[in-house]
């Protein structure tokens, strides 16, 4: 079955250490997610596209800097993409392995996820929900801007933690949506 994102019940959040002792949080406000599952509702493939310019951290100056060539370079690389290459299941827990592309550079990543559902909403639509967590070293994707502090630490940590909460709505396959031909 194919599933489409319910954006009003989904989020892509991140956090990074600042000055070595505090955490700055942000999110991407615009993204899409396509999921395919087996008959039991277990994901078999996942593809996501994030609008890199939709980054927000609560500071307009910082957000503008993150959109600049120092970080995401959204004028030249408007999207961040993820495409699964393997999904391993252990009960409700998933290990999602795939290719993450940022600034035109692709590297494999692994996310730990928990899937809930499928359930039917009050309107009869099938829904799945997942919460995925992972971390990357941003420098592997060319996000290398930094400043060395007087004490020797980094202004911005190289490690970025991600938390993705997604709710998807089932879409009938084209074959299932077609009524059977009447017997002649």
Domains and CATH numbers, the chain: 2-172 (2.40.128.110)
Q: What is the pLDDT of residues 5-56, one digit of tens each?
A: 999 999 999 999 887 677 999 999 999 999 998 887 788 999 999 999 999 9
- C-alpha distances out from residue 40 to 3, 34, 97, 144, Å: 13, 17, 20, 42
Q: What is the pLDDT of residues 63-107, one digit of tens each?
A: 999 999 999 999 999 999 999 999 998 887 899 999 999 999 999
Of 161 and 151, which is predicted with more confidence? 161
Running DSSP on this structure, what letter comes out for residue 142?
A: T
Q: Does the pLDDT value for residue 177 go beyond 50?
A: no
The pTM is what?
Answer: 0.85
What is the distance between the alpha carbons of residues 132 and 164, in angstroms, rounded to a whole number?
5
Of 136 and 171, which is predicted with more confidence? 136
Q: What is the pLDDT of residues 97-141, one digit of tens each?
A: 999 999 999 999 999 999 888 898 998 899 999 999 999 999 999
Q: What is the dihedral of CA 133, 164, 111, 148, to 10 degrees?
A: -60
């Amino acid at each position: 079955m194919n599933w489409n994102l319910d954006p009003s019940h989904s989020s892509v959040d991140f956090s990074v250490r600042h000055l070595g002792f505090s955490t700055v949080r942000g999110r991407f406000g615009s993204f899409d997610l396509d999921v395919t599952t087996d008959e039991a509702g277990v994901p078999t493939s996942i593809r996501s596209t994030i609008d890199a310019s939709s980054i927000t951290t609560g500071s307009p100056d910082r957000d503008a800097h993150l959109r600049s060539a120092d970080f995401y370079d959204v004028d030249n690389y408007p999207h961040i993409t993820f495409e699964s290459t393997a999904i391993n299941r252990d009960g409700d827990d998933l290990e999602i392995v795939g290719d993450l592309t940022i600034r035109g550079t692709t590297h494999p990543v692994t996310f730990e996820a928990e899937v809930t559902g499928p359930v039917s909403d009050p309107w009869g639509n099938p829904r799945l929900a997942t919460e995925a967590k992972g971390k990357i070293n941003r420098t592997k994707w060319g996000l290398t801007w930094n400043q060395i502090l007087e004490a020797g630490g980094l202004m911005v940590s190289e490690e970025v933690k991600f938390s993705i909460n997604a709710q998807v709505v089932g879409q009938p396959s084209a074959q299932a949506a077609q009524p059977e031909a009447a017997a002649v």
